Amino acid sequence: MVHVREMGAADIEAVSRIRVRGWLAAYADIVPQTYLDAMSVEDDARQRREWFSHPGRTSRDLVALGDRGPAGWICFGPCRSEVPGPGSVGEVYALYVAPDLTGQGIGRALLDEAHAQMKGDGFEASALWVLRDNRRAQHFYERAGYQADGAAQDDVYDGVTLTELRYQCVL
């Protein structure tokens, strides 16, 4: 059974391991290998500690606990861009599950709890960005009720431009 709780400072190393391993697994054939090779748990943890301790931070972090400790992580908060439509919109900034634990409901448990908290905060919808070539993530979010809304943006990874698609769902 998966238990979801608020992330604490003691979870930073485990979350960084999940995030880096998640990137390496999910983006191996999408993001340039040079970019992936430059990622490290230590650098990610250092950056996460800075963000986590920032007093004005508006994002929230949850971890999913499995039999062996943290198994997944989600970060969410207010939407960082204008989204057409009525009501206020939250945003899922990141969601990663340990690659050896995908398909066990961990990501869905994290997403469901984030949605409940967003709704409790007064958000009426949620948005997120997915790399166009990441079909696995797109299918996951579509099963959770998200739909692509037609918005796109480009990001550059080691000189390679990749397109992200925005997805939305009503909470």
Task: Round to whole Å and give the CA distance between 141 and 40.
Answer: 27
Does residue 144 belong to any structural domain of this protein?
Answer: no
131: DSSP letter: E
CATH number of the domain encompassing residue 73: 3.40.630.30
pLDDT digits (tens, 9 = 90+) for 14-58: 999 999 999 999 999 999 999 999 999 999 999 999 988 888 889
The mean pLDDT of 122-142, rounded to a whole number, is: 97
97: DSSP letter: E
pTM of the model: 0.94
Domain count, the chain: 1
Q: Containing domain of residue 116, as a range?
A: 3-125
168: DSSP letter: E
| Runs of H (alpha helix) within 80-161 | 106-120, 135-143
The answer to whether the beta carbons of residues 109 and 4 sit under 8 Å apart is yes
Task: Round to whole Å and give the CA distance between 69 and 72.
Answer: 9
Is the pLDDT score of 1 beyond 80? no
Does residue 146 belong to any structural domain of this protein?
Answer: no
